[in-house]
């Protein structure tokens, strides 16, 4: 996890007026890839579901779904801690 990348993304988001498409491109894509380390090849965008479309479906290397995300224009700012404390297993 890159705290520096997360901080840069949050600082950008605080100063930008973004619609949903811009939010996805400038915030969510970057959070997933740069902060959480998901390879972009693991993203499926606008996947058809029984209820409509999922904005993001993230898959594990074995092809199973790990996470489904719905994107919207930001209504609040994400706050990330400036320091991290490792969690012991």
- What percent of the chain has pLDDT above 90? 0
Domain annotation covers residue 87: no
Quote the number of domains for the chain. Answer: 1
What is the rounded average pLDDT for all residues in the chain?
Answer: 76
Q: Please say if the pLDDT value at position 37 is more than 70.
A: yes
Q: Which domain holds residue 29?
A: 3-69
In a domain? residue 42: yes
Supply 84's token pair. Answer: 């991290």
Q: Reduced to 3 states, what is the DSSP secondary structure of residue 34?
A: helix
Mean pLDDT of 51-63: 84
What is the Cα–Cα distance from 6 to 3, expressed in whole angstroms? 5
Residue 83 lies in a domain: no
């Amino acid at each position: 996890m890159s705290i520096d990348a997360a901080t840069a993304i949050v600082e950008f988001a605080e100063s930008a007026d973004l619609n949903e498409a811009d939010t996805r491109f400038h915030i969510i894509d970057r959070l997933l890839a740069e902060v959480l380390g998901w390879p972009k090849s693991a993203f499926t965008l606008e996947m058809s579901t029984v209820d409509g479309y999922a904005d993001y479906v993230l898959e594990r290397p074995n092809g199973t779904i790990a996470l489904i995300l719905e994107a919207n224009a930001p209504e609040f700012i994400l706050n990330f801690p400036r320091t991290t404390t490792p969690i012991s297993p």
